[in-house]
Structure 1
């Protein structure tokens, strides 16, 4: 995916480690961002091929009254059953990857120098092998659990199940090219982002 002119950086982390906050900080500093979560929502909208496949497999129980996918209900089903989660990923991932590739080509054509792919399952899906560098947003497991419970209004058991569905943070730390700590204040996080961007510039030479 990479080219001499553009550097493609895979941005990842565990669920609720603060990827969105870091993405916003990077965007405010001129980085070009491709958000895989936003793409994932787009590919399951009514009229999209993934939508039909999801309804065919999971049935109308995963639909809202307006006919759109009930993401909360679908999440409840797939995080309670690894086999169902694998089926959902098999349906959605090809569509998501195709759209990511398309957006990278557009960004390159526009002359973007720094392209960030915000992908929660970067290592799990093997997309880390198609980027130039990987950036991991890291936090303590306790903070992660508390944030997830609060953010998605989940029970502790549901939140733990969602964290366990991902590759352990210890494994991700071993694979990442750069680990950005999100354990303190927003000011400390901004300083971490500045340090990271300086490191990238040095890498680019």
Structure 2
């Protein structure tokens, strides 16, 4: 099965691109969704996160306060590393399982929507690496205006990820998303055409 690694900095529009790939017929394994599933109430991953970052992160119904965890986990490099050491192995196992299921169903190509694809070196395991690229200041603006983050939190999260230049250097294809949604859709359609010729 042909694997397409899809990544981009927070606020780059990567999730929008992933949906466009899915609409074009490429199933998507979404690492963020896997992470959420892994932290369902009562899960061992959630229990370990609460042990390390505070039992008060768990609400009365057993659900995780994601916003507060993000504030604590992105406060420093050490805190980010602690969270990653808990969550990354579990995300990897479940993602591998989902890809294996797709392969068993005879899927020819699938997308791995993974924010930390480059940071974890997973781009080396993909047949093709696609990076969604947006200027950092535009990403800060989108995070503040569309996701409701305060500017300091937005900049903190961006700082905890690989730099734009590093991501671009690891990319087979870079999709510029500094423009309109229509421009983005046209660029993704062009990438889909290229991939279909590779299969």
TM-score range, shorter chain: over 0.9
Cα deviation for residue 148 of structure 1 reads 1.0
TM-score (norm 1): 0.93
CA RMSD of aligned residues (A): 1.1
Cα deviation for residue 78 of structure 1 reads 0.9
Runs of 4+, deviation exceeding 3 Å? none
Aligned counterpart, 1:90:
85
Residue 18 of structure 1 pairs with residue 13 of structure 2? yes
Aligned counterpart, 1:30:
25
Aligned counterpart, 1:70:
65
Q: 1:196 aligns with which of 183, 187, 191?
A: 191
Q: 1:170 aligns with which of 165, 170, 173?
A: 165
Q: How many angstroms apart in 2 are the aligned matches of 1:121 and 1:188? A: 25
Q: How many angstroms apart in 2 are the aligned matches of 1:41 and 1:201? A: 31
Q: How many angstroms apart in 1 are the aligned matches of 2:118 and 2:44? A: 25
User: What do the CA deviations read for 1:117-155 (whole angstroms, capped 9, x no partner)?
Assistant: 000000111211211110001112221111111233122
**Structure 2 unmatched ranges of 5 or more:** none
Cα deviation for residue 185 of structure 1 reads 1.4
Cα deviation for residue 192 of structure 1 reads 0.2
Contact kept, 8 Å, 2:20 with 2:188, in 1: the verdict is yes
**Structure 1 unmatched ranges of 5 or more:** 1-5
Equivalence map 1:113-152=2 (5 Å): 113-152=108-147
Give aligned pairs, total: 199
Aligned counterpart, 1:3:
none
Cα deviation for residue 45 of structure 1 reads 1.3
Residue 110 of structure 1 pairs with residue 120 of structure 2? no
Q: How many angstroms apart in 1 are the aligned matches of 2:111 and 2:149? A: 29
Q: How many angstroms apart in 2 are the aligned matches of 1:188 and 1:152? A: 22
Cα deviation for residue 103 of structure 1 reads 0.6
Aligned counterpart, 1:57:
52
